[in-house]
Amino acid sequence: MATKVTPRSVDYSRWYTDVIQMADLADYAPVRGCMVIKPYGYALWENIKEGLDRRFKATGHVNAYFPLFIPYSFIQKEAEHVKGFSPELAVVTVGGGEELEEPLVVRPTSETIIGYMYSKWVQSYRDLPILINQWANVVRWEKRTRLFLRTTEFLWQEGHTAHATAEEAIEETLLILNIYEDFAVNDAAIPVIKGRKSESERFAGAVTSYTIEAMMGDKRALQAGTSHFLGQNFARAFDIKFLDQNNQLQYAWTTSWGVSTRMVGAVVMVHGDDQGLILPPKLAPIQVVIVPIWRDDEERARILEFAGQVKAALEPEVRLKLDDREGFSPGWKFNDWEMRGVPLRIEVGPKDMEQEQVVLARRDRPGKEGKTTVPVAGVKQAVQDMLATIQTDLYRRALAFREENTYYPETYEALCEAVAKGFAWAWWCGDAACEAKVKEETTATIRCIPLDQEPGTGPCVVCGRESRERAVFARAY
């Protein structure tokens, strides 16, 4: 099975698509740019969703749902917003066989419809803050699509909050950015750089956009989550006003933020290898698979009984599956579960049964290096410890990979070389012309201006003018 996967070194893009399809995550839909998320892929998304949703609720956010269809006039109310999204809009002009009085936009994002509703709900400072998140689908008419990373329709969460002061809204924006970082690091085992977007890269209609940026296995960047301080732009457009404590009428301050199914693509590209997926245990739909090995029917019955005892010892703390399928060799099953990225395999054969032991095989360390024999009496603790180790090791490996492929150029020539090989941290003067020059001549963009950087000054890597911040340049998805 693994031999059918295009090696990453031959064609990384083809490898990615092969793995997505062969690991049963998704398939192409009949509508261009759309995908069908298959049960295994959706289970992975559900685990991502649970990890984020738990964090949102722990910080006082609640879930709601807003309409899929948005009046076209709403999109037009915020000038920068409509300009940014117009090329990607899907518009409905006919409904029930009749032409609509006003065209409806299929939700590309929900700032406008939610802004309209908040204007009805907010009257006093006592109505604030509003901390709402929704899990939904959105549609953006993309020209170039790729499974999970960029599709015409995709799933995501989008948070929308309203506050009485700018300080509260900015605090919220950064709180969510930290939540995204925590999820990426601790659940997805993906190291990320937190930073501020440049003016040309910020969200349409935002005052400031923040992002977490991750390095993929081909050394390109992926924007894995964004959090936006919207200022009063949407509040003014939709008349979200309230009476403050001094009985003065004020506009609210709002935020929006989101993570989408492209996080599934990030997990695939950061951790996968030429044998298929490698999933971090915290997100894996199946954390452990038990593969019994037998030679005849009599032996099969005894081995399955023994394997069932091992399964019972691990449940319900571990998400696991006992692979008792007939007609498939143990080797075929090994390859099948390796393709699907199951973090830990337990092999149970006749000798193991006789010696009251099992063999643990780590997905992230193929071959003998990743195999350990443990007694059945201690299998529960051994498996839990092993899963925790795999989770930590995957993060460390991804971090080491990023650090090995991060450069600090001091000249423009060195910058051009660096972005062809990975991430480039370099002084940037803040001038959009310098940013545009890099993009035009190298296709690299400023992924972010990192929040965590030592203060100082240096010459802009493009023009040489004194600069107060470093930016991360990279080619991106």
How would you label 344-370 residue by residue, b for 16+ Cβ within 10 Å and e otherwise? bbbbbbeebbeeebbbbbbbbebeeeb
Q: Give the helix, strand, coil percentages of the chain, each rounded to 5.
A: 40, 30, 30
**Residue 103: both structure tokens together:** 């065209």
Query: What letter would DSSP give residue 170?
Result: H
pLDDT exceeds 70 at position 250: yes
Q: Which range among 43-57, 178-192, 206-220, 285-299 shows the weakest confidence by mean pLDDT?
A: 285-299
- The pLDDT of residue 3: 57
The angle at the Cα of 93, spanning 87 to 99, to the nearest 5 degrees, equals: 160
pLDDT exceeds 90 at position 79: no
pLDDT exceeds 60 at position 2: no
User: Which residues face 372 on adjacent strands?
Assistant: 360
Q: Dihedral angle at the C-alpha atoms of 175, 180, 184, 188, nearest 10 degrees?
A: 120
3-state secondary structure of 53: helix
With tokens 């095989």, the residue in question is: 361
Percent of the chain with pLDDT over 70: 99
Tell me if 148 sits within 8 A of 264, measured CB to CB.
Answer: yes
pLDDT exceeds 60 at position 28: yes
Element containing residue 463 per DSSP (H, E): none
With tokens 């203060």, the residue in question is: 455
C-alpha 34/C-alpha 38 separation (Å) is: 13
pLDDT exceeds 50 at position 329: yes
pLDDT exceeds 60 at position 412: yes
Tell me if 353 sits within 8 A of 339, measured CB to CB.
Answer: no
Query: What letter would DSSP give residue 352?
Result: H
With tokens 């298959």, the residue in question is: 38
**Residue 54: both structure tokens together:** 């738990």
Each residue's pLDDT tens digit, 133-184: 999 999 999 888 999 999 999 999 999 999 999 999 999 999 999 999 999 9
With tokens 């940013």, the residue in question is: 435
Question: Residue 297 — pLDDT band, cuts 50, 70, 90?
Answer: confident
- The pLDDT of residue 82: 67
Each residue's pLDDT tens digit, 351-398: 999 999 999 999 999 888 899 999 999 999 999 999 999 999 999 999
Query: What letter would DSSP give residue 280?
Result: -
Each residue's pLDDT tens digit, 84-115: 778 889 999 999 999 999 999 999 999 999 99
**Residue 372: both structure tokens together:** 């350990």
Query: What letter would DSSP give residue 292?
Result: E
Closest CA relative to residue 258, chosen from 210, 196, 205: 210
Q: How far is CA 431 from CA 122, 206, 417, 462, in A?
A: 39, 19, 21, 10
C-alpha 124/C-alpha 241 separation (Å) is: 8
- The pLDDT of residue 296: 87
C-alpha 464/C-alpha 472 separation (Å) is: 17
Q: Enumerate residues 6+ apart whose C-beta is below 8 A from 183.
A: 51, 52, 55, 259
